[in-house]
Amino acid sequence: MRNKKPVKKSPKPIVTVIDWKSGPVVNGDTSVEREVLGNTAEVRYALCDDEADFNKDICESDVILLWQNANVTEDGISRLKKCRTIVRNGVGYDSVDIAAAGRAGISVCNVPDYGTEEVADHAIALTLALTRQLFPLDAEAKSLGWKLHTAHKIRRLRELTFAIVGLGRIGTAVALRAKALGLQVVFYDPYVSNGVEKAIGIRRVRSLDVLLKQADVLTLHTPLTAETRYLIGARELALMKPTAYVVNTSRGPVIEKRAIFDALRKGKLWGAALDVVEDEPLRTKEEAATPNLIVTCHAAFCSVEAKEEMRRTAARITRQAVLFEPLDNLVNGQFLRK
């Protein structure tokens, strides 16, 4: 009996992990992704600052696992000939044109449920740094001074109205932490169901302007969308008390940078603590010298544990895409062509 010719197996789907060339996060280490994906896919690694860096291998990927700072526009999407899913390795997905991806039949997913604890802790840490004037006191003590020059800005927490914009996962975690510290917690979020405030024991207002006028500390926890870009600008800041503090651990362009820096320079706010900044990082020495400003390096999400959780979740969704399973955290379902 004549031997049959061996059947040539189809190649495995290609998953490309795209890291940031200017500051790689995993620096070539794809061990977590390979462990989760197992033998379901071939895992490749690429460094890109933007879609202009997409080479032939990337454009032939079946699934792309995308770290931060690589913007993918309609032009870049049109070059992804085989791609069926882009997994954004993080919460924000504003770097991807999700409508264009949908029209091209490409699903886009994110990882919204990692690092909740870290961002909430960071927002509270920044709040404490402002209300207890930690950095000015540190600088004064190290200059061999001991006169408490900023004593008039140090506040008792339980007397303060802690105003939250956005009561999603992180906003809720922040609210619970603030309550435990004795802050008077109030929030604005037009998309949250009625009664949530009763469930966690905080107060709700139905207008952003009303919230701003009450706030002693304003903290922002919204995604960056067309609706939330410049949600806080000169008009909104002018509604706030001149003794108020602003905290942002969401996305930089939710606050107009020029407006908040101008308010700080003119003494219209007592201070701001920003983990994220429009057009980050800071661009000039003048920006860095803005008075009463604390800036951290878009690091609120960061911890050893959070990074591991994020990578495993993104890899799990990538595995779902490879195996044609239902996708978790799909963000562009309304745009996908039928």
Catalytic residues: 251, 280, 298
Is residue 80 located within the same domain as residue 179?
no
Is residue 31 located within the same domain as residue 93?
yes
Q: Domains in the chain: how many in total?
A: 2
Where are the strands (E) in 143-194, listed by range? 161-165, 184-188
User: Which residues partner with 96 through β-bridges?
Assistant: 72
Residues 290-312 as b/e (b if ≥16 CB within 10 A, e otherwise) read bebbbbbebebbbbeebbebbbb
Query: Residue 69 pLDDT more than 80?
Result: no
Reported as a single tens digit per residue, the pLDDT across 157-211 is 999 999 999 999 999 999 999 999 999 999 999 999 999 999 999 999 999 999 9
The string of DSSP codes covering 255-275 is B-HHHHHHHHHTTSSSEEEES
Is residue 38 located within the same domain as residue 61?
yes
Q: CA–CA separation, 216 vs 219, rounded Å?
A: 10
Q: Give alpha helix (H) positions in 95-157.
A: 98-103, 116-131, 134-142
Is residue 154 located within the same domain as residue 168?
yes
Confidence band (pLDDT; 50, 70, 90) for 247? very high
Q: Work out the percent of the chain whose per-residue pLDDT is above 90.
A: 89
Is residue 122 located within the same domain as residue 61?
no
Is residue 102 located within the same domain as residue 141?
no
Question: Does 330 map to a domain?
Answer: no
Region for residue 148 given its phi and psi (left: phi exceeds 0; alpha: psi -120 to 50; beta: otherwise): left
Q: Which two tokens stand for residue 159?
A: 């007397």
Lowest mean pLDDT among 24-28, 218-222, 314-318: 24-28
Is residue 67 located within the same domain as residue 188?
no
Question: Does 5 map to a domain?
Answer: no
Q: Which domain holds residue 52?
A: 14-114+304-322
What are the Cα distances from residue 137, in Å, to 130, 154, 188, 275?
Answer: 11, 10, 33, 20
Is residue 67 located within the same domain as residue 148?
no
Is residue 94 located within the same domain as residue 25?
yes
- Read off the CATH number of the domain in which 130 is found: 3.40.50.720
Among 86, 90, 112, which Cα is nearest to 332's?
Answer: 86
